[in-house]
Chain A
Amino acid sequence: MPLIPVVLWTDALVFLLLAVTALFAVWAARHEHLRAPWRRVVRSRIGVATLVVLSAYAVVGLLDTVHFRLKLDRADESGEVRYAPEVLSLLDLALSGLRERQEKTYSAPFATHLHAKEALDQPDGTVIRDYPRLQHGGAHLADPERDRAWDIAWRSLIGLVQGLILWALLAAGLVWWLARRHGQPFDAVRNRILKGQTQIPWRTALGTLGLVLVLAFVIGELALKYHVLGTDKVGEDVLYQALKSIRTGLLIGTLTTLIMLPAAILLGIMAGYFRGWIDDLIQYLYTTLNSIPGVLLIAATILMLQVYMSNHADEFASLVERADLRLLFLCLILGVTSWTGLCRLLRGEALKLREIDYVQAAQALGVGHFTIIARHILPNVMHIVLITLVLDFSGLVLAEAVLSYVNIGVDPTMNSWGNMINSARLELARDPIVWWSLAAAFLFMFTLVLAANLFADVVRDAFDPRLRGV
């Protein structure tokens, strides 16, 4: 085997999350009351557009979640197969060009020369201070001054064409599938999509998809020869860092809620349904947790984790594993600080629902407490859970940046937007200013959070019964 798979803790949880999502999707597809709000989501133009963008992020994140170690080329003397100590992901493999083309230090986007002057040995033996050529970025150009603009334009065009071809293929596939499903001729379906007359706004979806694909291909084509977003202090490609950070952002946003969900649902419903001392106890629990300022609780816990990790360094097999555990722990502690809000909401809702007639009717029919909770209360609070889930996502992604800035976020060796900002902000004082790391983190984060916020709005409108029918 050329590789052995490595399953990190967070990877396992992501796979679990995927399985849960898939199960939920199958379950929802069979239940009209669950399908109907989702149908409203996909019939909204903002809904489908943001879904496409979020899916693009999700694909990158998932590629970065499949980890393995490659087999080393040469076996050692005993003939035993050896694997590289480095843990890689599919994304690393796909971006191996970017990963390996390291420069010496800072270089601006599309630069052909370093950002700082260096002493250069001239062929005639003299030494001058000048901007040295990059080892990889634009190295193929004979005369960068003259050729660079044309080269960039040409490569963009190639990328554009490639992207459009793939897009056209996908679009044709979709139209063919729709035509077959509805039993209509291909042309008619295409025309309706073009006119925006379909119930699901396919035109918007395809438009966004086209934009994403073209962008991806143009950047991909350019990235083969340039550092599209420049390089950082140690010469690493910023685009690569930004892409690798996607997984971190997504994980924080999703795993945190996944971790806190069982506790919040169980305790919230129990408090509201049983009332009495159970309610008192649960209320005490969440008021206590809530009264500790979140950042400080996270800081305290992460500090303690750091102490523990530095004192037990030998328990971790690799840096990646250690960073991964820290990420998991961060999700856990973020979950501890954020479950209280949902718990309180659910308690209030359960208090209302336990008095509602259908619950009373079930009690009159002798239905057991746990059956009532599972059958009557849980399904009727699921919309709150879902709305909270999507609303929390963007907040958590933003929180990661702030926490990493305070050094209580993810491990400093892990790629994350927070770490990118953190290491870049000190360089703002430089002249000329080094802005590209910040800009890259900003762009990637803003797109994700904006899409998530817009999507959350659509989901809330679709699921909240109070907002319906107005």
Chain B
Amino acid sequence: MTEPLLHVTGLTTELGDPTRPARVVDGLTLDIRPGETFALLGESGCGKSMTALSLMRLLPPSGRITAGSVQLGGTELLSLTEAEMRQVRGGRMAMIFQEPQTSLNPVLTVGTQIGEAVRLHQGETRQRLGAERAVELLRAVGIPDPEQRLNEYPHQLSGGMKQRVMIAMALAGDPRLLIADEPTTALDVTIQAQVLRLLKAVQSANGLAVLLITHDLGVVAETAERLAVMYAGQIVETAPVAEFFAQPLHPYSRHLLESLPDAGKRGRRLAVIPGRVPPLDTPFQGCRFVERCPAAIKRCRLEAPEWRAFSDERGVRCHLAELDAAGVSSRPVSDRTDSPTPEPLSPTSDPNSPPSDTPTETAQVPLLTMRGLQVHFPIHQGVLRRVVGHVRAVDGISLDLYAGRTLALVGESGCGKTTAGKGLLQLVPPTGGSVRYRGQELIGLSHRRLRPFRKDLQIVFQDPFASMNPRMLVGDILGEGLQALRLAPKRAERMRRVAELLELVGLDPESADRYPHEFSGGQRQRLCIARALAVEPRILVCDEPTSALDVSVQAQILNLLKDLQERLGLAYLFITHDLSVVSYLAHEVAVMYLGRVVEHGRVADVLDDPRHPYTRALLSAVPVVDPEQRRQIIRLEGDMPSPRHPPSGCHFHPRCPEAIEVCRHHYPVETRLGSTRRVCCHCVDVGVATQTNGDSKIRS
């Protein structure tokens, strides 16, 4: 057993008013060995970022460490003076943050910012040495043209590049431990893959230990060796990663895994964890998870569970695990509980063949057809603000929406998927193409002529906190559409409908008299869905409705959306960047790149056998929990180009590993593969599947 690099015992951190503090980290104990990747996993608000800041002693002014010990290589950090601690920060222990956009100083060049870290920790006072080392570091993190980049400012770099600069800066002091606080959460999945790969590479090259803080189970599974699960300020379970995913011990861990959507759970309900993380400023009597735990027994309420270690590497904080004694429990969740059990939605459904893939689908008449939709934003320049070009946010996409079916629109940020959704609803005026709803053209209708169609086309937004007016009562928010479209002009009638809607989305009808801020993120998203459903629409555009939510809450919303579709026969346009959600929920999928759809088809077809190189790269970059499903990652270099100046020929060719000469000059025409499948690539051979990725199967 090697000596741990970082040895934390009983770390307790409080935030806020000393008379009623929020104990955001409560008695945290963990060890990190030299050279390993240790993941701290938890949902938002569980205290994992505060743990990292406590280790660095960088807490916000209202925070303080009240107990515990942090030893780094034998040095007790908590008893160092501030000046000594500064030597450790950026020296033996470095940190990178979640938001590369805001974490770099906008008015200093990259070279200055790396240089000051170099000079500080290597005693190299002369500018020249600092610059040389900075170039070296930039090269080490895979930034092309490092000499050039030294003189650039952060805003000239893309998000992924900024995160690389952050890593370079962290490496400047040659640290032994790197704390990475959600390093890839703000990045797109292909960029995330680049950054995670880089982290692995620098780790093995420098032999440093990484404390990876994340909420993403896939990221943990692919990068970490050991993990600790945090809940409400405490560690509830530690385990080697492989063991954890094979056999999670704590009920919370188990539910977290169960609630992950993927293709295998199609047709079933996802497991959900009811309720929300308890507030940390109240004292706890029993287990912190008891209110949400379906397996709770009486003892859980009365007595806080002690930490129970099974071995050096495994431990859990749960009474039930103690009952199971040393024999590690292998009982599935469903043995203890009935409510969150994954149950089939309907008796006929079979997980491997989604119920709605019925043969009649092609015969159905589409509810809405979109042909060649364009949304271009003009770029003005010059003395007279003449239009010199366009940002081609959406550049000719064609989709059909059918009643009772879900079309997923997938792509990375900036590809125009949200604009496409808003263009469909005429919330941004399209500049070309056609959107026909039941045969009636919507583009070009005036505000008033559009009104009758508002009832049938609705939208749910990504951010549940920004999508409800904080100054209005929930009842008025839900009733707004009924009032505006004169569906229920009388208040009493409206409130009756509101009560029904609240019940429909699984909320208490009393909620109508409360304000949005009294609800949690997941509840708010239910309210937003209820608001959209109030006018009984036929089509619902869901714009990343779950990406701001924790995974357990996401499951609730996905279940709800699925139920509602079954019951009301809604057509969904589901806009997302998350392929696991697509595989769980959607029937058809359209992959967007730089304003255009590059591949379109049934979910099973596209995800199992992606034909477009971009789709393949996207799929391979998604971190997967199950090692058997893991694909070989296709390296995608660079970032998505700006829709202002799309590359000539195929938009994807500068990044495409399979690009050939013709790709540089001509945008590929659409190739039809079968009745439902369309791909835009020069390299697609009709009828013959490309063989480059034989192992790229989601399911065996």
Query: B484: CB under 8 A from chain A?
Result: yes
Of A8-16, A80-88, A356-364, the stretch lying at the interface with chain B is A356-364
Q: Which B residues are in CB contact (< 8 Å) with A93?
A: none
Query: A127: CB under 8 A from chain B?
Result: no
Q: Which of B422, B466, B467, B481 is close to A366, meaning CB atoms less than 8 Å apart? A: B481
Cβ of B463 and Cβ of A366 under 8 Å apart?
no
Of B4-12, B211-219, B260-268, B448-456, the stretch lying at the interface with chain A is B448-456
Cβ of B455 and Cβ of A366 under 8 Å apart?
yes
Q: Which of A366-387 contact B (CB under 8 A)?
A: 366-369, 371, 375-376, 379-380
Between A358, A363, A367, A369, the greatest number of chain B beta carbons within 10 A of the residue's beta carbon is seen for A358
Q: Which A residues are in CB contact (< 8 Å) with B454?
A: 364-366
Cβ of B469 and Cβ of A365 under 8 Å apart?
no
Q: Which B residues are in CB contact (< 8 Å) with A118?
A: none
Q: A357-B461, A360-B427 are in contact. Are A365 and B466 (CB under 8 A)?
A: no
Q: Which B residues are in CB contact (< 8 Å) with A358?
A: 466-469, 477
Chain B, Cβ-Cβ closest to A377: B469
Query: B457: CB under 8 A from chain A?
Result: yes
Cβ of B484 and Cβ of A368 under 8 Å apart?
yes
Q: Which of A13-49 contact B (CB under 8 A)?
A: 31-33
Cβ of A33 and Cβ of B425 under 8 Å apart?
no
Cβ of A367 and Cβ of B459 under 8 Å apart?
no
Q: Which A residues are in CB contact (< 8 Å) with B568?
A: none
Q: Which B residues are in CB contact (< 8 Å) with A376?
A: 469
A371 to B480 alpha-carbon distance, docked (Å): 10
Cβ of A364 and Cβ of B459 under 8 Å apart?
yes
A209 to B62 alpha-carbon distance, docked (Å): 34
Cβ of B457 and Cβ of A364 under 8 Å apart?
yes
Cβ of A361 and Cβ of B470 under 8 Å apart?
no
A371 to B469 alpha-carbon distance, docked (Å): 13
A31 to B469 alpha-carbon distance, docked (Å): 14
A74 to B376 alpha-carbon distance, docked (Å): 85
Cβ of A31 and Cβ of B427 under 8 Å apart?
no
Q: Which A residues are in CB contact (< 8 Å) with B164?
A: none
Cβ of A380 and Cβ of B480 under 8 Å apart?
no
Q: Which of B460-513 contact A (CB under 8 A)?
A: 461-463, 466-472, 477, 480-481, 484-485
Q: A366-B454, A371-B484 are in contact. Are A33 and B467 (CB under 8 A)?
A: no
Q: Which B residues are in CB contact (< 8 Å) with A366?
A: 450-451, 454-455, 481, 484-485
Chain B, Cβ-Cβ closest to A33: B471
Query: B531: CB under 8 A from chain A?
Result: yes
Between A31, A33, A366, the greatest number of chain B beta carbons within 10 A of the residue's beta carbon is seen for A366
Cβ of A362 and Cβ of B471 under 8 Å apart?
no
Chain B, Cβ-Cβ closest to A367: B484
**Interface 0/1 of A436-470, CB less than 8 Å to B:** 00000000000000000000000000000000001
A470 to B472 alpha-carbon distance, docked (Å): 25
Give the Cβ gap from A376 to chain B, nearest Cβ, in Å. Answer: 5
Cβ of B463 and Cβ of A364 under 8 Å apart?
no
| Interface contact tally, CB-CB below 8 A | 67
Q: Which A residues are in CB contact (< 8 Å) with B471?
A: 31, 33, 379-380
Cβ of B484 and Cβ of A379 under 8 Å apart?
no
A375 to B485 alpha-carbon distance, docked (Å): 16
A361 to B528 alpha-carbon distance, docked (Å): 9
Q: Which B residues are in CB contact (< 8 Å) with A360?
A: 422, 427, 459, 461
Query: B679: CB under 8 A from chain A?
Result: no
Chain A, Cβ-Cβ closest to B60: A470
A470 to B422 alpha-carbon distance, docked (Å): 35
Query: B163: CB under 8 A from chain A?
Result: no
Q: Which B residues are in CB contact (< 8 Å) with A361?
A: 459, 461, 467, 528, 531-532
Give the Cβ gap from B210 to chain A, nearest Cβ, in Å. Answer: 31
Query: B458: CB under 8 A from chain A?
Result: yes
Query: B50: CB under 8 A from chain A?
Result: no
A369 to B455 alpha-carbon distance, docked (Å): 17
Q: Which B residues are in CB contact (< 8 Å) with A375?
A: 469, 472, 480
A375 to B459 alpha-carbon distance, docked (Å): 20
Between A368, A375, A376, A380, the greatest number of chain B beta carbons within 10 A of the residue's beta carbon is seen for A375
A282 to B62 alpha-carbon distance, docked (Å): 44
Cβ of A380 and Cβ of B458 under 8 Å apart?
no
**Interface 0/1 of B414-433, CB less than 8 Å to A:** 00000000100101000000
Between A33, A357, A375, the greatest number of chain B beta carbons within 10 A of the residue's beta carbon is seen for A357
Query: B208: CB under 8 A from chain A?
Result: no
Q: Which A residues are in CB contact (< 8 Å) with B62?
A: 470
Cβ of A365 and Cβ of B467 under 8 Å apart?
no
Chain A, Cβ-Cβ closest to B483: A367
Q: Which B residues are in CB contact (< 8 Å) with A357?
A: 461-463, 466-467
Q: Which of A368, A369, A380 is close to B470, meaning CB atoms less than 8 Å apart? A: A380
Q: Which of A387-424 contact B (CB under 8 A)?
A: none
Give the Cβ gap from B68 to chain A, nearest Cβ, in Å. Answer: 25
Cβ of A32 and Cβ of B459 under 8 Å apart?
no
Q: Which A residues are in CB contact (< 8 Å) with B141?
A: none
Q: Which B residues are in CB contact (< 8 Å) with A379?
A: 469, 471-472
A380 to B463 alpha-carbon distance, docked (Å): 18
Chain A, Cβ-Cβ closest to B455: A366
Give the Cβ gap from B529 to chain A, nearest Cβ, in Å. Answer: 11
Chain A, Cβ-Cβ closest to B428: A360
Query: B515: CB under 8 A from chain A?
Result: yes
Cβ of B463 and Cβ of A367 under 8 Å apart?
no
A375 to B468 alpha-carbon distance, docked (Å): 12
Give the Cβ gap from A353 to chain B, nearest Cβ, in Å. Answer: 10
Q: Which A residues are in CB contact (< 8 Å) with B531?
A: 361, 365
Q: Which A residues are in CB contact (< 8 Å) with B466?
A: 356-358
Q: A357-B461, A376-B469 are in contact. Are A33 and B515 (CB under 8 A)?
A: yes
A304 to B401 alpha-carbon distance, docked (Å): 69
Q: A32-B515, A371-B484, A375-B472 are in contact. Are A363 and B467 (CB under 8 A)?
A: no
Chain A, Cβ-Cβ closest to B535: A365
Cβ of A365 and Cβ of B515 under 8 Å apart?
no
Q: Which B residues are in CB contact (< 8 Å) with A356?
A: 466
Cβ of B485 and Cβ of A365 under 8 Å apart?
yes
Give the Cβ gap from A279 to chain B, nearest Cβ, in Å. Answer: 14
Give the Cβ gap from B530 to chain A, nearest Cβ, in Å. Answer: 12
**Interface 0/1 of B358-377, CB less than 8 Å to A:** 00000000000000000000
Q: Which A residues are in CB contact (< 8 Å) with B463?
A: 357
A379 to B477 alpha-carbon distance, docked (Å): 14
Q: Which A residues are in CB contact (< 8 Å) with B461?
A: 357, 360-361
Give the Cβ gap from A197 to chain B, nearest Cβ, in Å. Answer: 12
Q: Which A residues are in CB contact (< 8 Å) with B451?
A: 366
Cβ of B484 and Cβ of A365 under 8 Å apart?
yes
Q: Which A residues are in CB contact (< 8 Å) with B457?
A: 364
Q: A371-B484, A375-B472 are in contact. Are A364 and B515 (CB under 8 A)?
A: no
Q: Which A residues are in CB contact (< 8 Å) with B515?
A: 32-33
Q: Which of A326-367 contact B (CB under 8 A)?
A: 356-358, 360-367
A246 to B458 alpha-carbon distance, docked (Å): 57
Q: Which A residues are in CB contact (< 8 Å) with B480?
A: 362, 365, 367, 375
Q: A361-B459, A379-B471 are in contact. List 12 more A-B contacts (CB 8 A).
A: A31-B471, A357-B463, A357-B467, A360-B461, A362-B484, A364-B454, A364-B457, A365-B454, A365-B458, A365-B485, A367-B480, A375-B469
The list of the 9 closest CB pairs from A to B, nearest first, reads: A357-B467, A366-B454, A365-B481, A379-B471, A357-B461, A367-B484, A366-B451, A357-B466, A358-B469
Residue positions of A touching B, CB distance < 8 A: 31-33, 356-358, 360-369, 371, 375-376, 379-380, 470
Query: What are 28 of the A-B contact pairs (CB < 8 Å)?
Result: A357-B461, A357-B462, A357-B463, A357-B466, A358-B466, A358-B469, A358-B477, A360-B422, A360-B427, A361-B459, A362-B480, A362-B484, A364-B427, A364-B457, A364-B458, A364-B459, A365-B481, A366-B451, A366-B454, A366-B481, A367-B480, A367-B484, A369-B447, A375-B472, A379-B469, A379-B471, A380-B469, A380-B471
